[in-house]
Each structure stands twice: as structure tokens, then as C-alpha cells.
Amino acid sequence: MKYILKRIVFFLITLWAAVTINFILPRMMPGNPAEVMIAKFQGRLNPQAISALEIAFGINTHESMLAQYWDYLGRMVTGNFGISVSFYPTTVAQVLAQAVPWTLGLAGISTVIAFILGTLLGIRVSWKRNSISSSFAVPIAFFLNSMPYFWFALIVEYVFAFVFGWFPLGGAYSSSSGLSGLALVWSVLYHAILPAATIIITAMGGWMLTMRNNMISVLSDDYITFAFAQGLPEREIEMNYAARNAILPSFTGFAMAIGFVISGVLLTEIVFSYPGVGYLLYQAVLNIDYPLMQAIFLFITIAVLVANFIADIVYVFLDPRARSGGE
Amino acid sequence: MDALLKVKDLNAGYEFTNFKTWAVRNVSFELNKGEFLGIAGESGCGKSTLAFGVIRLLMPPGKIFSGSIEFNGIDLMKVDDESLRKMRWKEFSMVFQASMNVLNPVLKVRTQIYNSIKYHVNMTESELDKRAKELLNLVNVSSKYLDAYPHQLSGGMKQRVVIAMALALNPKLVIMDEPTTALDVVVQRRILQEVDELRKQLGFAIIFITHDLSLLVEISDSLAIMYAGQIIEKAPSEKLYAKPLHPYTYGLMHAFPPLVGKRQKLHGIAGRPPDLSSDIKGCPFYPRCEKRINGVCDVENPKLVEIESEHFVACHLYDGK
């Protein structure tokens, strides 16, 4: 329990640091970004948007830095990120709230599936290391893993959505109104298949190779031979002795990947015009929507931190050696 | 006497793509029920390969090239994998050289003891619990360590837990491959004595492998000395100790200082053992032997023959006898 408490404290400190950096950065930039922006829109900006920018970036205020910082912290806690410039007059919080579920649903689930499939394959391939299917699986995994993602996604989109027309070209669900219930669920799934497939196929190979390498090093450990000497069934040795130990390093990587899901699907969402956080960030950059960008960056940071925190906690259950502080 | 294990002309070693090592060469021996056989030799003489070989536990690239192994009337070379798996632990178990690392780091001691039992015999949870406590008790480890993880135990405790596991199903044979090497001398001796008491109590046979001959002479019934993959001398312990026939055995005996008596100069054995990946012509000990007979020893490899009753030796010095 002491360990968990330590993780919580560490989590809070990192979070505070991230939030603070998010406050300091725009104020340290030469030539305030907000001033540049206001100049660029030349009066087309609504006074409310301007005042939002002023608060967010600390211009035209006579408050001290400390007061601004205090104010800023308060707004972060209450989720008040100001008003989006590109989606005016919607607030940043609302814009973000609409995008997050799509990204979590698409990329989150795809990443989990890729991890599970890749890891299981990695276990199999290393256990049956000398079989023919294993000798094919490894080079294929290398190929899929080293393929540039955007290139693969564009080809898949072109072939299956554009040429064959089997899947929709983009979006998260059919825009024809009146969809509800099962029809809506189906529409969402149907739109998610192609982008999810590209994520799973490209990420799976990496997980497979990682797990395979972990397994091969674990298989030469003494406790594996000892398990064989005890006449344990192969399945038991494969899963509870080999894979159970081999997954530990993979698991840390998985937690990191989950954290980076939000930012990592930028390309997927651009290629498939999927209305998630990545696509939103792309829009925000195109429209120089600083309040939105700042909120997205903060959100990504929090996602990475939360994922790591959960990973740290789960790791304790997976590896008993971590419980005593890991000596 | 009843033979439990009959090994005949066993050849085993390691096969790599570009070369092959014969770590065990034409080894034959018999082990009686309840017997304590010590096998001693320098590092790299094939002791461990022999230990793993006789219970068909050599993992690739390790391999048995030829020979026969008969365990309790069953030809081990012919049984299929599943029957062999069922025989393991129940008929013969093994304590490893690196016992510090043979316990699965993510499973509790309890789970590991249960696993070694439950895949061979049907037991209820409470029977398993009772047996596990009994076993730890046998090796003088408090049963509170059942719910500990391996990293929470000391080296000596891990060793005892592994020995307890090896006795879990009352096997007929326990192979111990340098089980105490990583422990200090005092703990080594104590564990060895405990093992010997358990053997007398439970009646299993032991093949004990070590490079430390002094550890064995007092405890084992018989001793086999290995050199370059072969058994070069085998006899009841006291006979071998009183009268080592092979020059190599003699050398090994005099490599340890006596605890009592006058100071004396120790003699090592000059040179090093031959490379086991090549053919050896003549006696493998020839280049290092002080009593070699040129023209005989470098031409023909001596066979292991019974010179006196129960005293086998492979040396041309005794050709005429």
C-alpha cells in the first residue's frame, strides 16, 4: 500500500508540473502567440474570444504573474479552457468532450486488440519456434511493423473505400438522419472497421516481436527447465511460467502506448476524417486555435500520466517483486 | 540387489549447426533402489549432461545420441512424451545446480508446490495444503513461507523448498546436480546431511553430482569419478577413498587439504581436460597422467573393468590383473 501511495504522490507532482509548464510556455514564447493571432484576425475576432485569449495567455492584463497563475490553476481544475476560436462560440471543453469518446473508442479499443493479438501470437511463435508458420510470422511482422503508417492507411483507404467502395470514405457514423438503436451502433462499427484495421495491423507486429523476444530470453531461464522436470503440462509452462514472466516488460510498453493513443491516432483520424482528438488537433493547428491546442496538449499529458499511473498499479499485481519496492 | 536404473553405453552431448560436443561418452552404470551414488569430476566433464540425460531432460541443443536407459524395468528411450511427462516427479525428480533461480518469480511457494503435485495426482485443496506444510516441515522451513514469493526467501531456504518439492510425490530417484554449490560450506553440509536422513527415512535413491569430492566420501554409498565424459572409476565410497586406483582419482583425492594432521603440500593435477568436441584417441587422461605408459595409453582407450569386487576402473595400469 505504501507503494501505491508513493505512486499517487508521484502522479500528482507530475500532473502539477505538466499543468505549470502548459502555463509558462506560451508566456515565454517570443512575441506572444495570442497577439499574433489577434493581429491576424484583424477585428474579425469576437470581443469575448479576445478576452478568452487574453486570460489564457496573459496579455493586456495588469495582474501579477502569480495571480494569473492562481487564476489559471482554478480554471484548469474546473475545466474552463475558454472559448474555441475555430468553433466559436462553443467552449473548448465542449469541443473536446465531443471528440474524446471517438478517439478513446477507436484508438483505445484498437490498441488493446493489437496488444492482445500481438502478444498471443508472440507467445505461440516463440513456443513453436521451429515450426514453419513461425518462420513466416516473424518476417511478416517485421514488414508490417516497419511500414510507414500514413502510407499504409492511404492505400487501405484508397483500395477498400474508394476503389471497391466496401467501406465509407470517412466520418464516424452515417450522416443520414434518423439513425437510432442498433442501426446507429452498426453504422458506428461499420465506419470504424477500416481505421481500426490499419491501427491493429501496423501495431500488432511490434507487440508480437517484443513478446517473442521476451519469451525467448525467459525460455532459457532455469525455472522453465525445472517446470519441465516436474512434468507440468506444456500449456501450464507456456502460460504461467513463460508468458507470465515474459509479459512484464511488454506491459510497461503497453501502458505507454495507451497513453499515447490520443496523440498517436492523429494520422488515422486525418486519413479517415474521423472526428476524434487527433483530427481536432489538426483543425486547431490549421485555424491557429491556441485555446483548443492548449487544452488538447493538457489532455494528452493527463492521458499519458493516468495510463502510467494505472500501469504502475497493475504492475504490482503482475510482479510480486515490485510490491516490496523493487529491490 | 534390485537395480532401479540401468544406463548402458549412453552417448549424449550438444549439437550445433557447425559442430557437435560429446559430453557423455559410452557411460554405463547401475543404481540400486535406495542407493546414494555420488558422481564427481571437474567442471565440464559431462556430469550435468549425464544427470539431465538419464531422465531425458536435455533441452536442445542437448541431445542423447545413443544408448539405453532402463528405469524400474521401463525403457526410457522408448516411452512417448506424454507417458514420460507423467513419470516425471512421480518416479524421478531433480534438484538443479542453480536452485536459486529455479523457482518461478511470479508464483507463490504454495502455488509452485501445488503445481508439482496436482498435475500428477488428484488432491483436494485441503490435502494439498496439508502435504505442502508436511513437505516444508521435512526440510525445516517454517510453513509460513508457503505464502511467500521466491524473492522473499534466502538462498538456503530456496534450496530447501526445491528439495521439498523434489520429494513431493515420493519419487524413487532424486537427481541432485550440484545442489549446494551456491551455498556456504556449513549450510552445504547441513543440507546434505538432512537429505541423507530423508533418504534413509523415505527410501529413495540419490544420484548426487558434485565437483567437490570431499563433500561426498562420508555420505554416499558409492562413488563414480568422471573424466572427459567417461566414468573412469566406480566403487563403494570407502573402497575408493581407501584405495583410489585411477591416477586421476588419486589426484582428485589429494587436491583437498585434510582437516586434521600434519601440514602437507597439496598436489594439483597439471594440465586441463581435453576438448569434448573432438575425437579422443587413447585414454583421455593420457596427456596429464603421471603414470602413463607410452605406446599403450595413447593408442587405446581403456575399458571400465571390475578389478576387485565392486571396484571398477578404466586404466591400462591394471591390464594384467
Q: What is the DSSP string of B150-176?
A: GGGS-HHHHHHHHHHHHTTT--SEEEE
Architecture (CATH level 2) of domain A93-320: Orthogonal Bundle (1.10)
- What's the CA gap between A127 and A137, in Å, rounded? 13
Within 10 Å of residue B186's Cβ, how many Cβ atoms?
9
- What's the CA gap between A242 and A256, in Å, rounded? 23
Give the pLDDT confidence score for residue A327 in this predicted structure: 38
Among the ranges A166-175, B97-106, B114-123, B299-308, which has the highest mean pLDDT value?
B114-123
Interface test with B, best of A216, A220, A223, A236 (most B CBs within 10 A): A223
ipTM of the complex: 0.89
Look at chain B and report how many structural domains it folds into.
Answer: 2
Mean pLDDT value across residues B104-113: 94
Q: Does A131 touch chain B (CB under 8 A)?
A: no
Give the pLDDT confidence score for residue A326 in this predicted structure: 41
Torsion angle (degrees, nearest 10) of CA A203, A209, A210, A212: 140
Residue A7 contacts residue A313 (beta carbons within 8 Å): yes
Residues B154 and B197 placed together within one structural domain of the fold: no
Question: What tens digit of pLDDT does each residue of A163-219 get?
Answer: 888 888 877 777 666 667 778 888 888 888 999 999 999 889 999 999 999 999 999
Pick B256 or B130 by higher pLDDT. Answer: B130
Task: Pull the grid cell for residue B301.
Answer: 582407450
In a domain, B103, yes or no: no
Q: In B, residues 111-170, which contact A (CB 8 Å cutoff)?
A: 115-116, 119-120, 149, 151-152, 162, 165
Q: Taking the model in full, what pTM does it have?
A: 0.83
- Find the residue in A nearest to B166 (Cα): A230
Residues B180 and B81 placed together within one structural domain of the fold: yes
Residue B212 contacts residue B40 (beta carbons within 8 Å): yes
Give the pLDDT confidence score for residue A161 in this predicted structure: 87
Residues B71 and B113 placed together within one structural domain of the fold: no
Residues of chain A with CATH 1.10.3720.10: 93-320
Residues B163 and B176 placed together within one structural domain of the fold: no
Mean pLDDT value across residues B100-118: 93
CA distance A20 to chain B (A): 40
Residues B304 and B220 placed together within one structural domain of the fold: yes
Q: In A, residues 308-327, which contact B (CB 8 Å cutoff)?
A: 318-321, 324
Interface test with A, best of B93, B145, B151 (most A CBs within 10 A): B151
Question: What tens digit of pLDDT does each residue of A224-244 get?
Answer: 999 999 999 999 999 999 999
* Whether A321 and B149 lie within 8 Å, measured CB to CB: yes
Residues B124 and B241 placed together within one structural domain of the fold: no
* Whether A222 and B98 lie within 8 Å, measured CB to CB: yes
Question: What tens digit of pLDDT does each residue of B72-93 get?
Answer: 999 999 999 999 999 999 999 9
Give the pLDDT confidence score for residue B72 in this predicted structure: 92
* Whether A324 and B105 lie within 8 Å, measured CB to CB: no
* Whether A321 and B151 lie within 8 Å, measured CB to CB: yes
Mean pLDDT value across residues B53-58: 92
Mean pLDDT value across residues B190-201: 88
> Residue B299's domain spans which residues?
3-91+171-318
**Cell 492505400 identifies what position?**
A155
Going by their DSSP bridges, the two strands B3-15 and B20-32 should be labelled as: antiparallel
Residues B87 and B180 placed together within one structural domain of the fold: yes
* Whether A320 and B151 lie within 8 Å, measured CB to CB: yes
Nearest neighbour of A244 by CB, restricted to B59, B106, B162: B106
User: Torsions phi, psi of B205, nearest 5?
Assistant: -90, 155
Give the pLDDT confidence score for residue A89 in this predicted structure: 74
Give the pLDDT confidence score for residue A177 in this predicted structure: 62
CA distance A216 to chain B (A): 13
Among A148, A122, A139, smallest CA distance to A209 is for A122
Residues B124 and B142 placed together within one structural domain of the fold: yes
Residues B197 and B301 placed together within one structural domain of the fold: yes
pLDDT at B39 over 80: yes
Verify cis geometry, omega within 30 degrees of 0, for the bond prior to B284. no
* Whether A222 and B86 lie within 8 Å, measured CB to CB: no
- What's the CA gap between B175 and B95, in Å, rounded? 6
Question: What tens digit of pLDDT does each residue of A75-104 get?
Answer: 888 878 777 777 777 888 888 888 888 888
**CA distances to A69, A166, A183, B109 from A30, in Å:** 19, 50, 52, 62
Contacts of B98 in chain A (CB under 8 A): 222
The mean of the pLDDT values for chain B is 89
Q: Which of the residue ranges A225-229, B69-73, B254-258 would you say has the lowest mean pLDDT?
A: B254-258
Residues B161 and B177 placed together within one structural domain of the fold: no
Q: B289-306 burial, b for 16+ CB within 10 Å, e for fewer?
A: beebeeeebeeebbebee
* Whether B115 and A232 lie within 8 Å, measured CB to CB: yes
Residues B297 and B154 placed together within one structural domain of the fold: no
Contacts of B89 in chain A (CB under 8 A): 229-231
Task: Pull the grid cell for residue B149.
Answer: 514469493
Mean pLDDT value across residues B228-256: 89
Nearest neighbour of B101 by CB, restricted to A223, A227, A233: A223
- Find the residue in A nearest to B119 (Cα): A232
pLDDT at A112 over 70: yes
Give the pLDDT confidence score for residue A55 in this predicted structure: 66
- What's the CA gap between A212 and B297, in Å, rounded? 51
* Whether A230 and B96 lie within 8 Å, measured CB to CB: no
pLDDT at A28 over 50: yes
CA distance A62 to chain B (A): 59
CATH of the domain at B293: 3.40.50.300
In a domain, B98, yes or no: no
Nearest neighbour of A245 by CB, restricted to B94, B105, B151: B105
Residue B94 contacts residue B174 (beta carbons within 8 Å): yes
Question: What tens digit of pLDDT does each residue of B159-176 get?
Answer: 889 999 999 999 999 999
In a domain, B102, yes or no: no
Torsion angle (degrees, nearest 10) of CA B54, B55, B60, B64: 30
- Find the residue in B nearest to A246 (Cα): B106
- Local confidence band at A41 (pLDDT 50, 70, 90 cut-offs): low
% pLDDT > 90, chain A: 24
Q: Does A225 touch chain B (CB under 8 A)?
A: yes
Pick B110 or A62 by higher pLDDT. Answer: B110
Strand-by-strand arrangement of the B74-75 sheet: B20-32, B3-15, B62-71, B74-75
% pLDDT > 70, chain A: 87
- Local confidence band at A135 (pLDDT 50, 70, 90 cut-offs): confident
Question: What tens digit of pLDDT does each residue of B259-313 get?
Answer: 677 777 777 787 888 888 888 888 999 988 888 888 889 888 998 999 888 999 9
Residue A309 contacts residue A317 (beta carbons within 8 Å): no
* Whether A230 and B89 lie within 8 Å, measured CB to CB: yes
Contacts of A226 in chain B (CB under 8 A): 94, 96, 102-103, 162
Residues B134 and B219 placed together within one structural domain of the fold: no
Counting one residue from chain A and one from chain B, the pairs whose CB atoms sit within 8 A come to 76
Pick B139 or B254 by higher pLDDT. Answer: B139
In a domain, B99, yes or no: no
Question: What tens digit of pLDDT does each residue of A249-282 get?
Answer: 888 888 888 877 777 688 888 888 888 888 898 8
Contacts of A241 in chain B (CB under 8 A): 104
CA angle B89, B176, B272 (to 5 degrees): 140
